[in-house]
Structure 1
Amino acid sequence: MSAGPRDILRLLRGHRRWVALAVLLTLAATALSLVQPLLVRRVIGSASPGPVIALLIGLFAAQVIVQGLAQYIVARAGEGIVLGIRLRLVRHLLRLPMAAYDRHRVGDLLSRTGTDSTTLRLLIAEGLTDALTGAITLAGVVALMLWLDWLLFLVVLAMVALAAVIVAVVLRGIGVASLDAQRAAGAMTADLERALTAIRTVRASRAEDRETDRIAAGARSAYEGSLRMARLDAVVTPAIQLAVKGSFIVVLLIGGLRVAGGKGSLADLAAFLLYMIYLVGPVGMLFQSLSTMQQGVGAYRRVTEVMAIPTERDAAPRPASPVPAPPLLEFRDVWFRYEPHRPVLRGLSFEVPPKTHVALVGHSGAGKSTVFALIERFYDPDSGRILLDGRDLPAVGRSEHRTRVGLVEQHTPVMYGTLRENLTYAAPEAGPEELARVVELAHLTELLSRLPHGLDTDAGEHGMALSGGERQRIAIARSLLARPELLLLDEPTAHLDAASEEALRRSIRETAGECALLVIAHRMSTIRAADLVLVLDEGRIVATGGHDELLDTSDRYRALLGEHAGP
């Protein structure tokens, strides 16, 4: 994949005026410089050169000022382009389907937002601008050189054509090497993110050297890719020297012989040679810009690969059909698979009544977490229907649906920031009274009284300043603050000691009066607290009822309780 004109113009959206202004200023500076050899020509042939010299100095000063302004505008446009690409990438990355996060490593996605978006600045702000100004300036220099001496110009053209052939050969290799280097840098970032996220496990397993070797391998691959690109790019500079300096020597030799033979004037030769000096700029700019743009192609491809992934759709394609007195949540013959020919859910059907505490139990791999993922619409079922309050989930926008469903994960991610920022994450407009309600409901009052700054205490990276039980209760309070109609809890007591578990059970009983609870449960105490127990086995519900009822009627339920024997 290469970056075509339409692709570049799309990336320039919102910055075309600045890039156009930079090009115009660069052309103005070039025009000021192109006039100077003609003035030198007049100085050589003039009896009173004073006024011409003054004009020459003025033009040179104006050229310097205009060129400096153009360079600043190019830099400004480049940074603006990088900012725009990063903002679009961030918005896009946060709205991808969950399956996309399963296929891509987080560190690699981070690399595309950081390193790759910066590299794109070379492609657009520097490569494109230099290519445009170099081409137009080259056209002006060529016209004036043809006007002065077309025969000498043919000599220059032959040398430039030879250099162009050399540059064309290496450009393809630069593009390939650029893509390899960007991919290797992405893999290195992903490996580093993997190690830092699990740094305590790394240290406890004495795996620092192994992780260093793994990350270093990615760094070396990126180094080798960049080195291949540098070797190819190094060919461009000698090619430019061949085109300009080589032709300068040849023109000086041929032109000097012609002046000595009376077939040309010294003033014309001096002006032509000055234009050859000016030729270094546009020819070098044009060749180097092509090399720079090829270096940006790898980053462009990696960014567009991510942007091409469709985002999660939030539209409601059809109006809802009213259903009288429906259950709050209903699965009807739902089938789902992550991979072809390996179904996880097989015709799953069950109901969750309003304001009811329901426990979902089953062995590992039975499909419990998949049920939660489908309820949250992280994935859509392959077939069957899922209804919330009598409405098919596809008939409701994802954002609207998620305002009615809360989720507390087993590993309870706590964001970097204060406890207040974590609690109000799903309800940023919540007031002090609402905060006080969920703090009490989740039994966080004692914790906050011990912290130096209460709700404004930093939670630490990934909440590591808190215990596992404290993180669990904060996640529950965060979900309750949004007042969901259905709250999903993935084994909420897994990380709690006996005292905290008892406090949480009281919270769950009180919460059941506000919304329905669907709890993935393994502990006997969590299962007993439920009004209804659903037994899931190989993607199907095999038994439904209360705890005591299932003890009498379900062999599978009794076997599960034996596997998860505990308080």
Structure 2
Amino acid sequence: GRVTDELIVRSEGSRPGSDLVWRGVGLIVVVGIARGLSVVVRRYFAAMLEARMQVTLREQVTDRYLDVPLSYHLRMPAGELLAHADADVSGTTMLIKPLPFTIGLVALVVFSIASLLGIDWTFMLIALALFPTLTLINRAYTKRVEVPSAEVQRKIGVVSSVAHESFDGALVVKTLGLEGYESARFAAAANALRQERLSVGRLRASFEPLLDALPNLGIVALLLVGSARLNAGALTTGDIVAGASLFGILAFPMRVFGFFLEELPRAVVSIERVDAVLAEPVDPAIALHDTTQLPSGPLSVAVDDLCFSYLDAPVLKRLSFTVAPGERVALVGATGSGKSTVAAMLLRLIEPD
């Protein structure tokens, strides 16, 4: 504003001195360089913090995978476990990058509103009207996008599970000639994920233009009000330029803040999914860290009233037997009678009912 009044407006009546011109140019260049450097520093440290948080969360999730009972791994598809450690962690930390801009926006808003009040009280009222409007838009967006965002994260796990099952059982699929069936199953899961992401994308497409338009609408309102105040003699041309510049400074942080609000529903869903993994109870045998020394030589095995069911289908009912040290015992039975299940239970790969 001062550069406008001292150089541009004054030049209409008399030519300003070269020293004044260079001081004005130098001031604008210095301010521009300072703003550019601050953006680079914020982006660098925000990216570094995001990467470190991803490492920490992935280590915590992986450690919990190692500590939970094996029944948890039997219950959860492998693709779902991968989705928790990858997509959910990435979604959780996505808010780190715009966070410095969002925090800086608070100080910038206070400074800008105080500066606008110093220029003209009507400019301050225009600025204050933008933020409640932004809050209302975000509230409506959050209500509509929260459920689809949760579905996207869930279907990412479904796609990962189908892909992992196909890779893991590739030999079985080829032996039974089920390539077409597996391809159709993966295509159905991928199409469901694509449709859900398209629905979220349509919601974002309706939200982002409103967000981008808010600062521009504020500048238009400022120019209209400022022109009337200029004709009334209450303002100068430099005051209007200064007010418009302040709105321009607010425009980019407001867009970043809008991106922060836009990604918030997805981050909340991702955090809930990661927290669900971290809240899984630890295997008691691992939690105790028992270091009891076992006696040397062969050991006996005793099973008493062992029961187990796959969902609602009972496989083992009150099975009891004892194997003496050094004794060799063969488990004999028809397919599906529970031989492999008993062996897995003896190794604690499966927990009994």
Q: Distance in 1 between matches of 2:108 and 2:2?
A: 16
- Alignment partner, residue 13 of structure 2: none
User: Helix, strand or coil for the counterpart of 2:35?
Assistant: helix
Contact 2:88/2:273 (8 A) holds in 1? yes
Q: Distance in 2 between matches of 1:381 and 1:307?
A: 24
Structure 2 CA distance for partners of 1:348 and 1:359, relative to 1, 3 Å: same
Structure 2 CA distance for partners of 1:188 and 1:140, relative to 1, 3 Å: same
Q: Distance in 1 between matches of 2:232 and 2:291?
A: 92
Q: How do residues 76-91 of structure 1 correspond to structure 2 at under 5 angstroms?
A: 76-91=48-63
One of 36, 40, 46 as aligned partner of 1:74: 46
Structure 2 CA distance for partners of 1:128 and 1:294, relative to 1, 3 Å: farther
User: Helix, strand or coil for the counterpart of 2:59?
Assistant: helix
User: Helix, strand or coil for the counterpart of 1:337?
Assistant: strand
- Alignment partner, residue 77 of structure 2: 105
Mark the runs of 5 or more structure 1 residues left unpaired by the alignment: 1-36, 383-567
Structure 2 CA distance for partners of 1:191 and 1:321, relative to 1, 3 Å: closer
- Alignment partner, residue 203 of structure 1: 174
Q: Distance in 2 between matches of 1:373 and 1:136?
A: 61
User: Helix, strand or coil for the counterpart of 2:67?
Assistant: coil
One of 53, 61, 71 as aligned partner of 2:25: 53
Contact 2:94/2:267 (8 A) holds in 1? yes
User: Helix, strand or coil for the counterpart of 1:94?
Assistant: helix
- Alignment partner, residue 451 of structure 1: none
Residue 321 of structure 1, CA deviation? 12
- Alignment partner, residue 335 of structure 1: 306
Q: Distance in 1 between matches of 2:291 and 2:60?
A: 31
TM-score by length of 2: 0.85
Q: Distance in 2 between matches of 1:202 and 1:321?
A: 45
User: Helix, strand or coil for the counterpart of 2:177?
Assistant: coil
Q: Deviations over 1:203-256 (max 9, x none)?
A: 344333322221111111111221121111123322223421112112101101
Q: Distance in 2 between matches of 1:155 and 1:79?
A: 39
Q: Distance in 1 between matches of 2:83 and 2:150?
A: 13
Q: How many residues in Structure 1 have an aligned counterpart in Structure 2? A: 344
Contact 1:127/1:290 (8 A) holds in 2? no
User: Helix, strand or coil for the counterpart of 2:233?
Assistant: coil
One of 288, 292, 297 as aligned partner of 2:263: 292
- Alignment partner, residue 229 of structure 2: 258
Task: Determine which structure has the larger strand proportion and give its number.
Answer: 1
Q: Distance in 2 between matches of 1:113 and 1:206?
A: 33
Contact 1:178/1:299 (8 A) holds in 2? no
Structure 2 CA distance for partners of 1:212 and 1:96, relative to 1, 3 Å: same
Residue 322 of structure 1, CA deviation? 10
Task: Determine which structure has the larger helix proportion and give its number.
Answer: 2
Q: How do residues 228-239 of structure 1 correspond to structure 2 at under 5 angstroms?
A: 228-239=199-210
User: Helix, strand or coil for the counterpart of 2:283?
Assistant: coil
User: Helix, strand or coil for the counterpart of 1:336?
Assistant: strand
Q: Distance in 2 between matches of 1:247 and 1:321?
A: 75
Amino acid at match of 1:99: S
Amino acid at match of 2:46: V
- Alignment partner, residue 310 of structure 1: 281
User: Helix, strand or coil for the counterpart of 2:172?
Assistant: helix
Q: Distance in 1 between matches of 2:30 and 2:266?
A: 38
Q: Distance in 2 between matches of 1:243 and 1:261?
A: 27
The question of 1:245 aligning with 2:208 is answered: no
Residue 379 of structure 1, CA deviation? 4.2
Q: How do residues 342-421 of structure 1 correspond to structure 2 at under 5 angstroms?
A: 344-381=315-352
User: Helix, strand or coil for the counterpart of 2:143?
Assistant: helix
Residue 45 of structure 1, CA deviation? 7.7
Q: Deviations over 1:12-52 (max 9, x none)?
A: xxxxxxxxxxxxxxxxxxxxxxxxx6666666688634334
- Alignment partner, residue 176 of structure 1: 147
One of 195, 218, 239 as aligned partner of 1:224: 195
Residue 63 of structure 1, CA deviation? 2.2
- Alignment partner, residue 185 of structure 2: 214
Q: Distance in 1 between matches of 2:55 and 2:292?
A: 40
Mark the runs of 5 or more structure 2 residues left unpaired by the alignment: 11-15
User: Helix, strand or coil for the counterpart of 2:329?
Assistant: strand
- Alignment partner, residue 64 of structure 2: 92
- Alignment partner, residue 515 of structure 1: none
Amino acid at match of 1:273: A
Amino acid at match of 2:332: V
Structure 2 CA distance for partners of 1:336 and 1:327, relative to 1, 3 Å: farther
